[in-house]
Amino acid sequence: MPKIPIIDLRAQYLTIQEEIDAAVRRSIEKTAFIGGEEHEAFEREFAAYTQVRFCAGVANGTDALVLALRAMGVGPGDRVLTTPYTFIATVEAITLNGAIPVFADIDPVTYTISPEAVEKAIESMPSAERATVKVLLPVHLYGQPAEMPRLLEIAARHGLMVLEDCAQSHGATIGGRKVGSYGLAATYSFYPGKNLGAYGDAGAIVTNDPVINEKIRSVRNHGRTDRYFHTVEGVNSRLDGIQAAVLRVKLRRLDEWNRLRREFASLYDGELSTCHRIVRPIIDEGAVYHLYTIRHPERERLREFLAQEGIAAAVHYPLPLHLQPAFSRLGLAEGAFPEAEAASRDVLSLPLYPEMGADTVRFVAAKIREFEES
Ligand SMILES: *Cc1c(COP(=O)(O)O)cnc(C)c1O
């Protein structure tokens, strides 16, 4: 019995092997390890793909968030409003800038930050605290776009800048317009398992704002304006030439891969529609299904059953960030964000990747039906 992984990067490599090998070889032959033509070309192509003016490549998606918040002027004493139900990097980027995270609960249907909860969080703050909130940071989780039009309206009313975390949503759209083009800036991760993944760590910030773009370009490269002339204290967070070359090859496939993800998501949706204990993700033509995450009241038993059948499944995420020991100093207790907590208890991500094929989707779904009927 073949094992079914959550994602299969080797299967993907085999479909693009010649082009990847040639791109890597080209980078090495040109010794274009840092910067170079491929790097500049990728920045141009990814900005165009995201429908924004500027793209700055950086070392990873976490740095992208850290540098974007810094370029937006977020520092000690400032507050950033975000979701407790995301990968920890979103919130690390806030605290690494010395700022304070403020959480608003998620919408249980989209798993993204709830506009009502954002409004309530702002309104329930004492006015001195409210004045320190600078940025609203929604995450398009699992490839599902957050409700950007409403979030932008709330942010505008309260004078907040908006930064989108697009680490799980390369190519996702709202009404045909790409996520990442709504906020003042947006960040991407090209961690290998993301919808657009490098062959190592990589990330980027996109923006239409020339000032933010210039700040990030300087800070990511030691605050340089010339080789040994530094206007500000920066960091070393650059996108490698070889990674840029790999990303260029893969960017050309991204729309097709996302189309397959959507196709398999809707196939799962139909195949699991008779399982009444399962909550399926919404079908949204703008979503890119980085993960296909269901809810089940007996999540652990289902996961063990699937594991015995050779099918991998994973929990994204087992503990919301406000309950993580790393953020215990925020003093938030269980019950603070009930929707995030409820999701953490019963979500389960099923195998979903462009190379898996419809038969494998049907096979996984049939095994889940078997579990439900036993
Ligand atoms: C992956 C991820 C990040 C961090 O990206 P890295 O490239 O791993 O640093 C940030 N936010 C979210 C939501 C992510 O999924």
pLDDT in tens, 35-57: 899 999 999 999 999 999 999 99
Residue 311 binned pLDDT confidence (cut-offs 50, 70, 90):
very high
Give which of 131, 140, 185, 147 is closest to 167, Cα–Cα.
140
Rounded mean pLDDT of 118-142?
Answer: 97
Please report where in the chains the tokens 């991407």 appear, as a residue.
188
224: pLDDT confidence band, cut at 50, 70 and 90? confident
Whether pTM exceeds 0.85: yes
The CA 140 to ligand 1 mean position distance, Å, reads 11
The pLDDT score that the predictor gives to residue 357 is: 97
Nearest CA to ligand 1 atom 6: 61
pLDDT in tens, 144-166: 999 999 999 999 999 999 999 99
What ligand 1 atom has the least distance to the C-alpha of 168? 15
Closest ligand 1 atom to 203 CA: 7
What are the start-end ranges of the H helices in the chain? 9-29, 37-50, 61-71, 89-96, 115-123, 127-130, 148-157, 210-219, 241-251, 254-271, 299-308, 338-346, 358-373
| Digit-coded pLDDT (tens) for 291-301 | 999 999 999 99
What does the mean pLDDT of the chain come to? 97
- Percentage of the chain lying above the pLDDT 70 cut: 99
Mind giving me the DSSP string for 276-319? TTPBPPP--TT---SSEEEE-TTHHHHHHHHHHTTB--B-S-SS
Q: For 110-125, what is each residue's pLDDT tens digit? A: 999 999 999 999 999 9
How confident is the model over 210-219, as a mean pLDDT? 96
Longest dimension (CA), the chain: 69
> How far does residue 282's CA lie from ligand 1's centre (Å)?
23
- Whether the pLDDT of residue 225 is over 90: the answer is no
Check: CB of residue 80 under 8 Å from CB of residue 119.
no
Ligand 1 environment, Cβ below 6 A: 60-62, 86-87, 89-90, 139, 165, 167-168, 189, 191, 201, 203
The percent of residues in the chain predicted with pLDDT above 90, rounded, is 97
Helix (H) or strand (E) holding 73: none
Q: Can you give the pLDDT at residue 226? A: 81
Query: Ligand 1 atom closest to Cα of 86?
Result: 13
pLDDT at position 227: 84
Question: Which stretch of 1-5, 241-245, 338-342 has the lowest confidence by average pLDDT?
Answer: 1-5
Over 80: is that where the pLDDT of 1 sits? no
Ligand 1, atom 7, residue with closest C-alpha: 61
For a pocket test of ligand 1, which of 86, 191, 238 has the largest count of ligand atoms closer than 8 A to its C-beta? Answer: 191
Region 22-40: mean pLDDT is 95
What is the tens place of the pLDDT at every residue in 171-210? 999 999 999 999 999 999 999 999 999 999 999 999 999 9
Pocket test for ligand 1, best of 87, 137, 166, 201 (most atoms within 8 A of CB): 87
- Residues with Cβ within 8 Å of 28's Cβ and at least 6 positions away in sequence, in order, are 242
Q: What average pLDDT score do residues 349-356 get?
A: 98
